[in-house]
Structure 1
Amino acid sequence: MLRYTLMRLGIFAGCLVVVWGAVYSGIFPRGFGDSNFLWVLLLSLVLSAPISWVVLRKERDRASVQIVGKVDRMKANLEANRSHEDAVDDTARAQGQPS
């Protein structure tokens, strides 16, 4: 997951540099007044999102598999704890002890 995040940030940083250069060279228009930095950030974000979606598809699938595996392990651990608690409670009730 960290690898995917770093790759996504790398694509955003690359887009930021390209957009920054394009704005200051006059290819893209400048923002109004003092909004130039915000304009560059938003344009970089808009450009990097579809690039990341296409380029990082395999990495996103790998990250998804890892997340699903972690969630499944957590569910199994919760179920095991629940079963263990139920068994302890049933044993205590069978012996007449308060739970």
Structure 2
Amino acid sequence: MELLITYDVDTTTPQGQRRLRRVAKTCEGIGHRVQKSVFEIVCSPAQKLTLEARLRDIIDPDRDSIRIYHLDRGTLSTAQHLGAAINAAHHDPLVI
């Protein structure tokens, strides 16, 4: 399954800044950062459920927002990049 994850974490407090780092680290553990707050992810349904649970545990639902877009298979490989874009190798092994 292919996912696009975007997030907006309120960083006006030190706690918010920690939440932001934790959200980023969690997403880095499973996907590729393609912009500052955007990740492209290829995962199994079980990995998606685990990721969602971890993210729910991190964020403050009254102040933070995470959007998860389910993409058709193959969408990430057909993405068009303009400018200083990263060409993420989605199907290569992810080294952490």
What range is the shorter-chain TM-score in?
A: under 0.3
TM score, norm. by length of structure 2? 0.26
Higher-Rg structure is 1
Higher strand share: 2
TM score, norm. by length of structure 1? 0.26
The higher relative CO (CA closer than 8 Å, separation ≥ 6) is in 2
